[in-house]
Chains A and B, each alone.
Chain A
Amino acid sequence: MIRVMVVDDHPIWRAGVARDLGERGFDVVATAVDGAAALRIIPAARPDVVLMDLHFGSGEPAGLSSPSGAETTGRIIDGWPDTRVLVLSASGAHADVLAAVQAGASGYLVKSASVEELVDAVRRTAEGDAVFTPGLAGLVLGEYRRMARQPRSDVPTLTERETEVLRQVATGRTARQIADALVISHRTVENHVQSALRKLQLHNRVELARYAIEHGLAE
C-alpha cells in the first residue's frame, strides 16, 4: 500500500484529498498544515509520497517561520531520499512551482486536476516516474531557454530530442502519442523527460553548493 502524506494549509482540501486517496486504496499516513509541521511529522510517518501545496499560512493559522514549499521539498529530499514529493498547487505562481521542482519534486499537478488524474499521478510518483503535466513541461522548457540566454557556459542544456519531447508534452501529447510520432519506445520518452528534470535538479544542487561555499556557509 502506498503511504501518502498531504501537506496543505486549507482544511477543505486537506480532508478532501485525504478522503479521495483513502477511498482509492492509498494509506494516508499523515496530514500537515505547513512545511514546518510536515518536517516534524515525516520521521514518524515515513510516507512514500508527499503531496505538497506550495502556499502556507492562509487557510489555517500556520507557523510563522515555516519554510516555503520549495524549501520544504528540498529538505525532505535531502533527509529522506526515498520519499518522493508531488507538488499539488492551485497557484498560478509559476516561479514557486519551478523552484519546488528544482529542489527535487518529482512532478506537478494543478489542483483542478480530476481525482483520476490525481490518483494516477500519486501512483506514478510512487513508482519513481516524473509526473509531467503540460504546464510543468512548459516551465522546465522555459527554464532551459532562460539559462541558454545567459552568457555562462556551465549551465545545463537540453539535447535536441529532449527539447522535442518536452515541447510535445507541453502541447498536451501523451507519452504514447509522442513515442508513436518520434518512432521511439514509451520508455525512451520517459527517460528523456526524466533526464531533462534531473539535469535541472543537479544544476540546482551545484548552484546551492557553490553559493554556500562562496558565502562561507559550508563547513
Chain B
Amino acid sequence: MPAATDIMTPLWRGVVVLRIITAVFAVGAIIVHHGGFDRPDLGWAALAAIVIWTVLTCLAYSDDRTRCSHVIVADLLVTLALTACSAFVLSPQQLTEVAQRAPLLPTIWACGPVVAAGVHAGRLAGALFGAITAALEIWLRGAFTTDLACDALLLIGTGFVLGMAATAARQATEQLRRAARVEAATAERERLARSIHDSVVQVLARVRSRGGQLDGEAAELARLAGEQEFALRSLFSAQPPGAAGEQDLADAIQLLASPRVEVSIPATPVLLPASDVDELIAVVREALSNTARHGGPGAKSWVLVEDLDTEVMLTVRDNGPGINTEQLVDAASGGRMGVSRSIRGRVADLGGTVTLDTGPGRGTQWEVRLGRVRQGALR
C-alpha cells in the first residue's frame, strides 16, 4: 500500500493547491462584483463559506485517511449549494444577461470536487462530477450559450483526463510493486538457497560420504542423508520459466540428479519452448525409471545435454544389463506399451529422432535429437 500512496500524494497535493488558488480567485470575483449583487450580505456569507470549506477540504485531501468518497461527495454537494446560492445573490442581469453577466459565486472554484473525483475514482467519476456541476450552471443561467458549452466541456474533460492519469499512475505503481515483489521473492529464495546450501547441504553431504564407508544402519542413514542432499540441491537450483515461454532444459534435467543419476550439462542455458522441455523431461524420466526397474541394484545412469545450436541432443545411458532386442519386439507385438515405443512416440510427436543402442551386457543408451525452430524463422 505505501507505494500506491506515494504515487497519489503529488496528485492530491495538486488538487489542494488548485483548490486554494481557485478560492482566491472566487473571493476576488465576489469582491469585484458585490456592488451589483441583489443580496450582498448573502454574498459575503458565501465568501466566508468558500474560505471555510476550502480550508476543510484541503485538510481532508492532505491526509491519506480522509480522502474518501464521502468527503468528495460532500465537497460536491457543498459546492453545488454555493453555486445554487448565486440564484439569490446575483441580480437577474448578472445571472442571465449575456452583456452584463457576472460569474457565479464559486467561479472556477467549482472545479474542486470534479478534480478530486477524477483523482480518487477515475475518469468516469471525474466526468460525471463535471457534468453535474456544468448542468447546474446551465440551469441557473437559463440558457445554453457557447461560453457555457466551453465551461461544461472543460469541466467534464478535466475530470475525465485527470481520472485517466490517476488510474494509469495507479496501475503503473501496481505493476512496479508486483515486479518488486517478484524480485524480493527471488532474492529471498537465493538467500535461503545459499544459507541452506552452505550449512545443511554440506553437513548432509558429509554424513553421506562418511557414513557411506560404514556398514549396517550407518550406511542406511548415509543413504537417506544423500537423498535429502540431492533433493535440497535440486529444489534450490530450479529456475522459474524465462520469458516467452522458454525454459532451460539443462536446468530442468539437473533436477533429475540423484545418487544413481549423474547429469552433465553445459554452463550456459539450453532454451527450448517450455512444453518441449516438459516432454523431454518425461522421456528422460521414462528411460531412468526403466533402468531403475530392470537395471539391477548397482545400475547407474548418466544424462548428457548438448546444445548444437540448430538442434538439442540428449543422451541417457545406463550401465545395466541392457535390453534384449527380442524382448523389445515381443513387448511391442504383444500389445504392451513397451518403454521403447512410448519413448519413440513422445519424441516423434515433438518432431525429434531417437536412436537406441542396447544389447545384452552392453547397457542401454538413448540418444534423442530435437531440431530447434529458430525464432527468427517464424516471424
Contacts and interface: CB of A to CB of B under 8 A. Distances in A.
Interface string A89-110: 0111011011000000000000
A142 interface: yes
A142 B306 contact: yes
A114 B202 contact: no
Contacts, number: 117
Contacts of B264: 134-135, 137-139, 141, 170-171
Interface in A31-86: 55, 58-59
Interface string A141-168: 1110110110000000000000000010
B233 A172 contact: no
Interface stretch (A10-18, A183-191, A207-215): A10-18
B213 interface: yes
Contacts of A58: 194-195, 198
Contacts of B213: 114-115
A59 B195 CA distance: 9
A59 B194 CA distance: 10
A contact face: mostly helix, strand, loop, or mixed: helix
Which 5 A-B pairs rank lowest in CB-CB distance, beginning with the nearest?
A: A142-B266, A138-B264, A172-B302, A58-B198, A94-B267
Given A138-B266, A142-B306, A145-B308, A92 B233 contact: yes
Contact of B304 (A20, A113, A138): A138
B254 interface: yes
A56 B301 CA distance: 32
B14 interface: no
Contact of A95 (B203, B210, B259, B267): B267
Contact of B306 (A55, A115, A135, A141): A141
A141 B266 CA distance: 7
B205 A111 contact: yes
B237 A13 contact: no
A94 B269 CA distance: 10
Interface string B301-330: 110111111000001010100000000000
Contacts of B365: 171
B210 A171 contact: no
A114 B304 contact: no
Nearest to A169: B264
Interface string B233-272: 1000100000000000000001000010011111110000
28 contacts: A12-B203, A13-B202, A16-B210, A58-B195, A59-B202, A91-B197, A94-B266, A98-B267, A111-B205, A112-B209, A112-B229, A112-B230, A118-B209, A134-B264, A135-B264, A138-B265, A139-B267, A142-B307, A143-B266, A145-B266, A145-B308, A146-B266, A149-B309, A170-B264, A170-B302, A170-B304, A170-B315, A172-B301
Contacts of A112: 205, 208-209, 226, 229-230, 259
A96 B43 CA distance: 81
Given A12-B206, A58-B198, A112-B229, A172 B300 contact: yes
B195 to A, nearest CB: 7
B201 interface: yes
Contacts of B226: 112
Interface of A: 9-10, 12-13, 16, 20, 55, 58-59, 90-92, 94-95, 97-98, 111-115, 118, 134-135, 137-139, 141-143, 145-146, 148-149, 167, 170-172
A92 B309 CA distance: 23
B190 to A, nearest CB: 12
A219 to B, nearest CB: 32
B98 to A, nearest CB: 77
A113 B209 contact: yes
Given A58-B194, A139-B264, A141-B266, A92 B237 contact: yes
Given A59-B202, A92-B237, 11 more contacts: A12-B206, A55-B198, A90-B202, A92-B254, A97-B267, A112-B208, A112-B229, A135-B263, A138-B305, A142-B305, A171-B317
A101 to B, nearest CB: 10
Contact of B302 (A134, A146, A148): A134
B267 A142 contact: yes
A70 to B, nearest CB: 12
Contacts of B203: 12
Contacts of B199: 59
Nearest to B307: A145
B318 to A, nearest CB: 8
A114 B201 CA distance: 15
A114 B305 contact: no
A139 to B, nearest CB: 6
A134 B229 CA distance: 20
Contact of B202 (A10, A98, A171): A10
A116 B363 CA distance: 24
B299 to A, nearest CB: 11
